[in-house]
Amino acid sequence: MPVAGSVAIVGTATTRFGVLHDRGYLDLLAEAALGAIADAGLEPGEVEAAWLGTAEPILAGLVGDAGTAVAEAIGFGPRPVTRVSNFCCTGMEAVRAGALDVAAGEHGLVLAVGAEKMRDVTSRGSLLAKTANQTHPTLAKGRTAPGQFALLATRYMQAYEVGIESLARVSVKNHEHATRNDKAHFRDAVTVEQVVGAPRVAEPLGVLDCTPTTDGAAAVVLAPVAWAERHAPRYAVIRGVGLAVTDGYFATFYHEDEDFLGFRSTRAAAETAYRQAGITDPRAQLDVVECHDCFTITEIVNTEDLGICGPGEGVGLLESGATAAGGDTPVNLSGGLQACGHPVGATGVRMIAEIADQVTGRAGGRQVPGARTGLAHTLGGPGVVSSVAVLGAP
C-alpha cells in the first residue's frame, strides 16, 4: 500500500548538534538509534530492519559507508540494514526507504537513522576539499556549496530588487529560534548588522548566511499506522512524501531550464506530497515547517517553491513575520540548518523528528500550540534533489 496515511512515526530522538570532538560517528549513531527505539517504548530486539542515512563517510575514515555501522553501533545483527545516500536529502531518504519498507509489509517496526561526523577533519578539509579535489576536472570546476547558492542570491537580488539585509533576516530569525533548542549547534541570537558585516564566503553570502559544518545524528522508528493505533504511546502519520530528482550534479548549471530563482525539484516533490496529503493551500494548512535553509537565500526560495507564498514573495513573507515563531506559518523553529546545524545525513531525519514532535505536542519551548500538520523539506546537491514530507497528527 502507499506510504501516505499508512506509515506512522512512533519514536524520535536527536543528539546534540555541534562540533562534538568527544563523540565518534558510532557514538552519535547509537545515541540517536537507541533513543528513538526507547522513545517508541520498544526494545532494540523488536526492531526488524534499519535504514542508515550518511552522505559523506569519507569524512570520518569511511565509518558509516554501509549498513554495517548500525550493526556495530547497536548490536543490530543479523537483521537487514542498508545505507542510503542522496546528497543533502540523505536523511529524508532513510526515512522514506524505511517507510516504503513498512508500507510494503516486508517489515513492521523499522529504524531510520541519519548520522554524520563532519568535524573529525577541519571544516576546510571537509566538503570543501571534496569539492575542490574530487569533482569533475573541467565542468563546473570552482563550484562550492556556498558559491552555488550565491548564484541564486545574486540573481534573486537583481530580479526582485532585494538587498542583503533581507537575506540576513533569515539568519537572524533562525538564530533567534535556536535559542529555544538545547540541541542546536549555535544558541546565540545575531543581528542584521552582524550578518551583513560578517566576512564574505561567496558574494553576496557571508559566514552568517551559511550553515555551519556540524556533527550529529537523529533517528525515528517507523511502524504501520494500524500497529501505532494499538501500541504507540503517541505517533505522527506520514500524510505525504515526495522525492524529485531533476538533473545531474554538474550538468544542471548548463541547462536552460534553470532560472536560478528557485528549484524545480522542490516544486515537484511538494506537488507529490501535497497531492497525497490533500494540501491545496500550504500557508493555511501547514502549522509548522522545517525547510532546507543551508544558506539564507535558500529558505527564501524554498518558501516560494513550497507554495507558502508566490514567486518573488519570499522576502515579503519573511519580513511580515509570518515565518517567525508566533507567525501563522513558522519556518525552522529548530534554528534550521543556519543555527541548529547540518550534519548532512542526520538533517532530514532530524527534521522529521522535529515535525513529528510538533504534531504530537512534544516540541517543548518550540511547540506551536495546537499544531496538527507540518512539513519537512530537504534540498540536495546543486538543488536537483528534493524531499518533501507532510506529517500529521492521527
Contact set with another protein (CB under 8 A): 124-125, 128-129, 131-144, 146-147, 150-155, 158, 199-205, 247, 251, 253-258, 260
Residue 170, CA atoms < 13 Å, CB-side half-sphere = 33
Whether residue 107 lies in the annotated active site: no
Q: Which of 21, 88, 210, 377 is catalytic?
A: 88
> Residue 19 or residue 121: which is nearer to another protein going by CB?
121
Minimum CB distance to another protein smaller for 157 or for 189: 157
Is 342 assigned a catalytic role? yes
* Residue tagged active-site, from 175, 177, 185, 342: 342
Residue 229: CB atoms within 10 A of its CB come to 12
CA distances from 306 to 111, 130, 182, 377 (A): 28, 30, 28, 9
What are the residues whose beta carbons fall under 8 Å from the beta carbon of 16, sequence distance 6 or more?
182, 183, 216
Long-range contacts at 310-313 (CB < 8 A, ≥ 24 apart):
311/261, 311/262, 312/159, 312/160, 312/261
- Measured between alpha carbons, how far is residue 245 from residues 73, 101, 171, 277, 390 in Å? 31, 21, 27, 20, 18
**Could you give the count of Cα atoms lying within 13 Å of 112 in the half-sphere of its Cβ?**
35
User: Where does residue 151 rank: exposed (0-12), middle (13-18), buried (19+ CB within 10 A)?
Assistant: middle
- Locate 48 and state its grid cell: 526488524
Q: Given the complex with another protein, which of 227 and 260 has the nearer CB atom?
A: 260
Q: Nearest distance from residue 243's CB to another protein, in Å?
A: 19
Nearer to another protein, 102 or 301 (CB): 301
- State the minimum distance, in angstroms, from the CB of residue 193 to another protein: 20
Cβ proximity to another protein, 54 vs 126, nearer residue: 126
Largest separation between any pair of C-alpha atoms in the chain: 58
**Strand positions, DSSP E, 254-307:** 288-290
- Enclosing H/E stretch for 270: helix 264-277
What is the set of active-site residues? 88, 342
